[in-house]
Copies of this chain bind each other. A is one copy, B any other.
C-alpha cells in the first residue's frame, strides 16, 4: 500500500507539472491573440498575419506550430499552386477560446478602472 500510495503521488506530481507546462505554453501573448482572432472562423496564413497586427512572419509560424502540436488549432493544406493553408480551432481550441474571451472581456470592462488605477499609482510614486 505504501508503494501504491507513492506511485499515485508520483503520478499526481507528473500530471501537475505537465499541466503547468501546458498552461505556461499557452499562456503567452501571441498564442492567446491567435486563438482570439480565430474565433469560429477559418483563416489563411496571410489573413491571420493581418488580423493579429504586429506579429512577425516567424513568430506566427512558430506559435501556430506549437498550437497545432498541442491540438489547439487544425491545419489544412490544399495541395494547389500557389499553396493554400487554412487554420481553424479544434474542439479543444474552442473550449480554450471561451476562457480567452473572458480575459478580453475583462480588459474591456475594466478599461477605465485600470487607467484610473495607473494614474493614482504614478502620482504616488512622484510624491
Which residues in A have some Cβ–Cβ distance to B below 8 Å? 15, 18-20, 22-24, 26-29, 32-33, 68-71, 92, 95-96, 98-100, 102-104, 106-108, 110-111, 113-118, 121-122
- Tell me the bound Cα distance from A125 to B98 in angstroms: 30
Closest-by-CB residue of B relative to A36 is B23
The answer to whether B111 touches A19, judged by C-beta atoms less than 8 angstroms apart, is yes
- When distances are taken between beta carbons in the complex, the residues of chain B under 8 Å from A27 are 27-29, 32-33, 103
The answer to whether A110 touches B92, judged by C-beta atoms less than 8 angstroms apart, is yes
A53 CB, nearest partner CB in chain B, Å: 8
- Tell me the bound Cα distance from A9 to B18 in angstroms: 45
Contact partner of A118 among B70, B96, B113, B118, CB < 8 A? B70
A6 CB, nearest partner CB in chain B, Å: 21
- When distances are taken between beta carbons in the complex, the residues of chain B under 8 Å from A19 are 104, 107-108, 111
A3 CB, nearest partner CB in chain B, Å: 24
